[in-house]
Amino acid sequence: MKYANYFLLLFLFLASCQNNTPPATEEPEATPPPAENTLTEEEKAAGWELLFNGQNTEKWRGYNRDEFPTLGWRVDDGTIVVEKSGTEEEGFGGDIVTKETFENYELTLEYLLSDTANSGILYRVKEVADTPIWYNAPEYQILDNATYATMGVSNVHFAAANYDIHPAETDHTKPVGEWNLARILLKNNHVEHWLNGKMVIAYDLETPEWEALVAKSKFAEYPDYGRHHNGAIGLQDHGHKVQFRNIKIRRL
């Protein structure tokens, strides 16, 4: 009995010590987010590459040009900015493309829209003199959906659609003034468009279904549309201010 009382007192003493443990006054330190326009060690190990370092446009040039445009585009606060031209849908800098060409890859970038903004990410770009970039290159549409919907624009022209071919059935855009994350997966002829972590469309180039859709679209009269397997990546100047950052690519 004597030992039982001893162990009971010891148990009560230890329990009281645990209950008197002072509460934590600080939360554990969170891992800071990676700096913009950089790669983490994990990304480097996985084969990711930067297409924009936040400081210059050394990996870009104008479409059908040797140099980067001197008007209409600029680097500002770690972003590539296409400026508002004030000429409705016509930009004054022209589209830009990567200096390097790519065939199979995963591309991610963030974009920030201004009000009524319209732009696009173009892939399988084939440069032809005196020919607009969109004659030959499929386009991941970038758009202020909310504003253009009031103008009667359909979802085949909404953000993350394959412009004029495959509609974006669901709107995953963030409000104007917030960053959106775009992702394009292109492997052989399979293509996926993702927006803010959601897959919006998936399709296969050069299939009978795709051929039929192209035949019914504005691209029917352009025989090279989507058929250039090893092409540059383009960003569109559509006369509206859009900012781009964290442009990364992983070859597959």
Provide the whole-model pTM: 0.86
CATH H-level, domain 54-251: superfamily? Exo-inulinase; domain 1 (2.60.120.560)
**pLDDT (tens digit per residue) in 6-52:** 555 555 555 555 555 555 555 556 566 789 999 999 999 999 999 99
Dig out the tokens for 193 from the structure.
């468009």
Residues in CB range of 127: below 8 A, 6 or more apart: 63, 64, 97, 133, 232
| Inter-CA distances, 213 with 20, 49, 107, 204, Å | 71, 33, 25, 11
Q: Where are the domains of the chain?
A: 54-251
Q: Is the pLDDT at 126 greater than 80, yes or no?
A: yes
